[in-house]
Structure 1
Amino acid sequence: MDGAAAAADEKKKHAYSLWGVPPKDVTIRLKKLIDGLRSEFGGPEFQPHVTVVGAVHLTEQDALSRFNSACEGLKPYAAAVDRVAQRVLLLRPAAEVVEASSHCGGHFGYKRSTPYMPHLSLLYI
């Protein structure tokens, strides 16, 4: 790739989202559940995650910079399941869960059109 092509590629925007990932032991249990549902009902394979910030279009460098900046003021937090509803685990919208999304969303310039509803999808169909 020549210099002009490399510079153009650096300025190319892609969709990025920020996910919260459960601890390894919880991820293993959720992955078994997700895989079981997928084998019965179909749908794509995916890793268990909670979307903290939805899709934003940024250059790779800008996304990394914003991610690093957001992480500086963020600490791990606990999330608890509130209930199961139509293929998702709805998480309790505790202050620390909602604040983490707001904090990170601010760093990414994410504009939410509806209130944050933390959830973990079990099946995409």
Structure 2
Amino acid sequence: MAEDPAKAAKEVYSVWALPPDDVRDRIKRIMAALRSEFGGPAFEPHITVVGAISLAPDDALCRFRSACAALSRYPARVSAAARGTFFYQCVFLLVDPTPEVVATKSHSCIHFGYENSTPYMPHLSLLYADLPDEVKEKARLRVEELDKEITGINFEVAALALYRTDTEDKSLESWEPVEVYQLPPNPK
């Protein structure tokens, strides 16, 4: 007897926009320096498009492919280094909420049936940690020392990734990529 997909074991997934290799490598150098100074787990540079959502594996993959099929590459721009108020938004790079960035988020959320209770703040996290505000500020300032030109960089998002992201696992050891989708060039 086939298993009912609605009753299949669910896992937590997220959809990430991936920066191109040159930008990823640059950001990874900043992340490594911050981790060595302030602690925290290692993770891949990304802009969260769809936050943590619980789905059956087949359903998550189907929704991901369906969402990606109607998308194309789009520009992104880092506007500032900032600090947040919780573990997953400790220190990050703000990304301009351009129409393309917001449209990709909205389109993907519709496919995933995902509703967020807070306004979208596109960002590239650099450090996950629970730190006092004064230490977060020190880490934020350190970003600007490590790469003086990181604010204002422009890049093209050419890939989205579906990740398994159990948000209860703050070590991130269980986090893993499920599939990467290469977006086609924008037809405009």
Aligned to 1:73: 70
Give the structure-1-normalised TM-score.
Answer: 0.91
Aligned to 1:35: 32
Aligned to 2:60: 63
CA distance in 2, matches of 1:30, 1:107: 29
* 2:42 pairs with 1:45: yes
Aligned to 1:105: 109
- Can you give the 5+ residue segments of structure 1 that lack an aligned partner in the other structure? none
Aligned to 1:94: 98
* 2:120 pairs with 1:116: yes
Deviations 1:52-104 (A, max 9, x none): 00011110000011011001111111110111111110011100000100000
Deviations 1:27-74 (A, max 9, x none): 011001100100011010111011000011110000011011001111
More strand by share: 2
Query: Which ranges of 4 or more aligned residues in structure 1 deviate by more than 6 Å?
Result: none
| RMSD of aligned residue pairs (Cα, Å) | 1.6
Aligned to 2:22: 25
CA distance in 2, matches of 1:34, 1:78: 22
Give the structure-2-normalised TM-score.
Answer: 0.61
- Can you give the 5+ residue segments of structure 2 that lack an aligned partner in the other structure? 84-90, 130-188
Alignment of 1:1-16 (within 5 A): 7=3, 11-16=8-13
What is the number of residues matched between the two proteins?
121
Instruction: Indicate the percent of aligned positions where both proteins have the same amino acid.
Output: 54
Q: Given residue 67 of structure 1, which amino acid in structure 2 is its aligned partner?
A: F
More helix by share: 1
Aligned to 2:81: 84
CA distance in 1, matches of 2:33, 2:42: 11
CA distance in 1, matches of 2:54, 2:114: 10
